[in-house]
A and B are shown apart, each in its own frame.
Chain A
Amino acid sequence: MSLPGPETLELKTSEDVVRARQRVRVCMKDQGFGLVDQTKMVTATSELARNAVDYGLGGTMRIESLEEMGRIGIRLVFLDHGPGIPDIDLALTDGYTSGHGLGLGLGGSKRLVNEFEIWSKPDEGTRVTITRWR
């Protein structure tokens, strides 16, 4: 089976967040993921894309289909060049928000996926990579 090539979506506005969500939903479906997996990944997309828009001054989402050792997966990379996260552990703490959110987006996303990797540097930006395997 041939995998679709990676693509990158712009994340600037809340409409872009909706678009990113819809794109992930379609990709998950195409790769044969079930409804629960789809919903989890779409929800994580919503959180990380909105963080990039709200805190990261906008960014991009790269979406990539994977096949490793017979496993099918979807990997998403959220990248922004915003202010970065000064304390990643604190940001991952449930209930912590520097804005007016519930403070559950980052930690929640981590729990919704199989692999979660975060890189951030003050004044350079933030990159969150998530992967879900079928």
Chain B
Amino acid sequence: MTKSTSRLNDILEKNEKEILDDWMREQLASGTLRKDLITESELRKQSAELLGLIINATRSGNVTEISGTEWKPVLDFLAATSKTRAAQGFSPVETATFIFSMKQPIFTRLKKEAGSNASVLADEIWVATVLTDKLGLFTAETYQKSREEIIRRQQMELLELSTPVIRIWEGILVLPLIGTLDSSRTQIVMETLLQNIVDTNSGIAIIDITGVPAVDTLVAQHLIKTVSAARLMGAQCIISGIRPQIAQTMVHLGVAFGDVVTKASLADALKYAFRQSGITVT
């Protein structure tokens, strides 16, 4: 389809209001409209804006190559819309329907305008199909990317949540580490601990590794670095919960915690910490 022959822009421009009305009707009737997430007037505003942008873009004569610069405003709008929809909890089908429900209203107008000329009609419908499909796919893709982004962010938040630093006593923090420590998680956990030491002005931090299935050189290095950093800040770290199989493995591996105080259990570490702080527990 060469640029000059399509009358799509013409037809859209002439029938803007009718297409918008039909499109709104389609969307409201589609059953995939989330009235709980978006109001009718909001939807109408979005639809009108998108249609206006599409008409602008088609004016260039390029009606199907959406990678062209004249389509940038349309794509930007769609990207922003699918992003908000992903965040608001619209499903992929609901999001894609926003675009695909535009097809029927456009086809209806094309039919009217093309009159009895079947070959023109076929050409125009083809152009309109290619265009809406491309826009729909673009929307689905950005929706998908946004969802992935959201999931990644939630995972990050979960990481921080699942490694709480507990202030067990005035001046004493406990960080219970649980699960597999990969490098990104270890990094976050250690940074959180150091920040907490500053925030609470604590003198002792107990890092409990009872829940860690294996300590390799990377985890050991993170632990050693944290202990040194804490020391520079005037706090003492105690590592507790080094289970027999981990202790044996660490010996073979050759990692040593140097002069760091280590305790077999969290209870032992607490007793030690209390004694250090001059707290007597009866």
Within 8 A of B (CB), among A26-55: 35-36, 38-40, 42-43, 46-47, 50
A40 and B252 form a contact (CB under 8 A) = yes
Does B69 interact with chain A (Cβ within 8 Å)? no
> In the complex, A112→B184 CA distance in Å?
25
The answer to the question of B220 belonging to the interface, with a C-beta cut-off of 8 Å to chain A, is yes
Contact residues in B for A74 (Cβ distance below 8 Å): none
- Do residues A40 and B249 form an inter-chain contact, with CB atoms below 8 A? yes
Interface residues of B in 202-243 (CB under 8 A from A): 213-218, 220-221
Chain B proximity of A91: nearest CB distance (Å): 14
- Chain A interface, number of residues (Cβ within 8 angstroms): 27
Cα distance, A10 to B248, chains bound together (Å): 29
Bound form: Cα–Cα A61–B269 in Å: 39
Distance in angstroms from A107 CB to nearest chain B CB is: 7
**Interface bits B245-259 vs A (CB < 8 Å: 1, else 0):** 110110011110000
Report how many residues on chain B are interfacial, defined by Cβ distance under 8 Å.
21
Contact of B253 with A21 in the complex, beta carbons under 8 Å: no
Given A43-B216, A101-B221, A108-B217 in contact, is the A36-B254 Cβ separation under 8 Å? no
Tell me the number of A-to-B contacts counted with CB atoms below 8 Å: 69
Closest residue of chain B to A94 (Cβ to Cβ) is B254
| Structural contact, B253 and A35, CB atoms closer than 8 A | no
CB <8 Å contact, B217 and A101: yes
For residue A15, which residues in chain B have a CB less than 8 angstroms away from its CB?
A: 182
Q: Within 8 Å of chain A (Cβ to Cβ): is B154?
A: no
| Further 19 A-B residue pairs, CB within 8 A, beyond A35-B245, A40-B252, A42-B213 | A14-B182, A15-B182, A39-B248, A40-B245, A40-B249, A42-B214, A43-B215, A43-B216, A46-B214, A46-B218, A102-B220, A102-B221, A102-B255, A109-B253, A111-B252, A111-B253, A111-B254, A112-B249, A112-B253
Residues of A within 8 A of B (CB): 14-15, 17-18, 21-22, 25, 35-36, 38-40, 42-43, 46-47, 50, 94, 101-102, 104-105, 107-109, 111-112
Residues of B within 8 A of A (CB): 180, 182-184, 213-218, 220-221, 244-246, 248-249, 252-255
